[in-house]
Amino acid sequence: MSIYEKIGGEAAVDAAVDIFYRKVLADDRINEFFDTVDMESQHTKQKAFLTMAFGGPNSYTGKDMREAHKNMKLTEDHFNAVAENLVATLQDLNVGQEEIDAIIAVCLTVKDDVLNV
Amino acid sequence: MTAIVFEGEPITLDEGETVLDGLLRLGHSIPHGCRSGVCQSCLLSATEIDKVANAQTGLSEAQKQLNFFLGCQCLPTEAMTVARVDADVSRIKATVMEKTQLNDQVWRLRLTADLDYRPGQYVTLWRDENLARSYSLASTHEQPWLEFHIRHYPEGEFSSWLVESLSKDDTLELNGPLGQFFYTAQSEDPMLMIAMGTGLAPIWGIVNEALMKQHRGPIEVVVGAKQAKDFYYREELGALQAQFDNLQVHWLSLDSDSPETANLYDYCQSNFSQLSDHKVYLCGGTSFVKKLRRYAFMAGASMRDIYADTFIAFGGEPG
Ligand SMILES: Cc1cc2nc3c(=O)[nH]c(=O)nc-3n(C[C@H](O)[C@H](O)[C@H](O)COP(=O)(O)OP(=O)(O)OC[C@H]3O[C@@H](n4cnc5c(N)ncnc54)[C@H](O)[C@@H]3O)c2cc1C
Ligand code: FES
């Protein structure tokens, strides 16, 4: 069973996305990247990101990740801040440490693409 | 660069140019309004449906079947064949039943037309082939007319025409209904509805529908304006509030004597700080909706439960 199925599939993503997006909007280290006019489409992007991180069905490729974050001048600190918010979200939802580790491992696989290095 | 064919004429679109912009650049007279995918006045039809699928957001199933699409949202990547849409298919006729001035700025327009809609949705009204603007529906089904609350901008093309030239028994065309801004709550859900200016129009429609459908949860309505004299429907909302225990209306204006009610944003943050499980309805201009959406979300409302209608300015952003 994939982590995605283990933590509850799409319903888990739905539960996580509001919490996660609220956390990043409140985080001064990174909220400038998320606080756009079109909150709804930003919210949809976060949902796609979480689906990917949870190992669910998604159409993201490394190339999309690279393209989407181009010119944003993201640093390691930004990446870590997002990861921290993700961990805190999963803890709020009582996801086990083992699953959290597996989810963060997925995020690390796209790190270079996100940072465009 | 993409080559398309418009009513038999080959046309080359510039890089990143929409079908609408290309046709206008070449001097074709194509109806249009918001250029944002909202008003649906720029409907065109295509021969190849799959090439316009991403320019069909918000269209009805019937319109999609007819291969209609929004010219302002269409950036073709390959050749396609495009034509105008017959107005008889996309619009209906409406007749002016009543036009009443509600205060210095706001006019109430009542039209009769055969339209199936939900209170709070909007339609696009047409002055003529070249001018269309969207307005929200304030009426409910019990009323045999469509009601609109229209703010008069002295420089505004449509609203000035409405104030100066439109009279009883005149006819005009409209298309719609459009949008998802209507009552969907469960009877017990707490509702918070925040309107700025004529943003009250759809909210008035939704409140009335909710009460008619015996909504039992608390309904808080917050109405904002620059000055207290810009308020309208105070008596009407007061009468509803007297009749229904679960309805509470708050009037906030910048010129208010009490600091409490002078700032809508602060007022909402301190009075409605916990919005989880709420259905939230927001209606007003672009920056108002943006700010209030963020507030509602941070106060715990789920993104799914925040409904917003933005009165984007058609003639270019004000200022
Ligand atoms: C979905 C939707 C629903 C709407 N519902 C309503 C409604 O119920 N009631 C209503 O009154 N309006 C509503 N509007 C706004 C309406 O469609 C027009 O934009 C508005 O009436 C102005 O049109 P106009 O032709 O008079 O002015 P335009 O000719 O388009 O504009 C001319 C000038 O007027 C001023 N102006 C126009 N709009 C604004 C603005 N929003 N804020 C500040 N200055 C402005 C600007 O100086 C602008 O340059 C809605 C818009 C949308 C998108
Ligand atoms: S939807 Fe295209 S101009 Fe309004």
pLDDT in tens, B217-258: 999 999 999 999 999 999 999 999 999 999 999 999 999 888
Which residues neighbour B55 within 8 Å (Cβ) at sequence distance 6 or greater?
Answer: B19, B69, B70, B71, B73, B74, B75
| pLDDT of B276 above 60 | yes
Alpha carbons B192 and B282: distance in angstroms, whole number: 8
Strand B122-128 and strand B92-101: pairing?
A: unpaired
Structure confidence at residue B150 (pLDDT):
98
Is the pLDDT reported for residue A61 higher than 80? no
Give the distance from residue B14's alpha carbon to the nearest chain A alpha carbon, in angstroms: 23
Q: What is the pLDDT of residue A58?
A: 77
Q: DSSP characters for B18-58?
A: -HHHHHHHTT-----S-SSSSS-TTEEEES-GGGTGGG-TT
Contact B4, B11 (CB under 8 A): yes
Q: Does domain B191-310 have CATH number 3.40.50.80?
A: yes
Q: Name the CATH superfamily for B92-178.
A: Translation factors (2.40.30.10)
Residue percentage of chain B with pLDDT more than 70: 99
Judged against a pLDDT cut of 80, whether residue A37 lies above it is answered with: no
How far are the Cα atoms of B108, B196, B254 from residue B104, in angstroms, in the given order? 12, 16, 17
Task: Calculate what percentage of chain A has a pLDDT beyond 70.
Answer: 99
Task: Name the residue of B21, B29, B30, B42 to mutate for ligand 2: max ligand atoms within 8 A of Cβ.
Answer: B42
Q: Which whole number is the average pLDDT over B41-54?
A: 89
Give the residue-averaged pLDDT of B150-158: 96
Band of residue A6 on the pLDDT scale cut at 50, 70, 90: confident
pLDDT at position B218 is 98
Least confident segment among A50-59, B87-96, B101-110, B130-139: A50-59
**What is the predicted pLDDT for the residue at A65?**
85
Token representation of residue A28: 């001064």
Residues of B in contact with A21 (CB under 8 A): 297, 303
Specify the residue for token string 């870590």. A80
B122 lines ligand 1 (CB under 6 A): yes
When pLDDT is averaged across residues B111-123 and rounded to a whole number, the result is: 97
**B236's tokens:** 């009407």
Does A38 score more than 90 pLDDT? no
Question: Please, what is the Cα angle at B279 between B285 and B146, to 5 degrees?
Answer: 60
Q: Check pocket membership of B150 for ligand 1, CB cut-off 6 A.
A: yes
| Domains in chain A with CATH codes | 3-115 (1.10.490.10)
- Give the pLDDT of residue B319: 40
> Atom 3 in ligand 2: which residue has the minimum CA distance?
B35
Q: What is the residue-averaged pLDDT of chain B?
A: 95
Q: With bands split at pLDDT 50, 70 and 90, how would you rate the model's confidence at B316?
A: low
Residue B144: pLDDT over 70: yes
- Asked whether the domain spanning B191-310 has the same topology as the one spanning B2-88, the reply is no
Average model confidence (pLDDT) across chain A? 90
Q: What is the DSSP string of B224-261?
A: EESSGGG---HHHHHHHHHH-TTEEEEEEETT-SSGGG
Angstrom distance (rounded) from CA B43 to CA A116: 40
Q: B127, B102 in Cβ contact below 8 A?
A: no
Give yes or no for residue B37 CB within 6 A of ligand 1.
Answer: no
Domain ranges of chain B: 2-88, 92-178, 191-310
- Among the residue ranges A24-38, A55-69, B22-36, the one predicted with the least confidence is A55-69
Q: Give the pLDDT band (50/70/90) at residue B262.
A: confident
Q: Which residues of A touch B (CB under 8 A)?
A: 17-18, 21-22, 25-26, 35, 37, 39-40, 43
Q: What is the mean predicted confidence (pLDDT) over B1-7? A: 90
Domain B2-88 has CATH 3.40.50.150: no
Q: Which residues of A touch B57 (CB under 8 A)?
A: none
Q: What is the DSSP string of B255-318?
A: T-SSGGGT-HHHHHHHHS---TT-EEEEEE-HHHHHHHHHHHHHTT--GGGEEEEE---TTS--
| Res B318 pLDDT > 70 | no
Q: What is the pTM of this model?
A: 0.92
Question: Given pLDDT bands bounded at 50, 70 and 90, which one contains residue B315?
Answer: confident
Instruction: Name every residue whose Cβ is closer than 8 Å to that of residue A61 and which is 6 or more positions away in sequence.
Output: none
Q: Using a 6 Å cutoff on CB, does residue B34 contact ligand 2?
A: yes
At B248, list the tokens.
């509470």
pLDDT the model gives residue B121 = 98
The mean per-residue pLDDT over the stretch A36-51 comes to 87
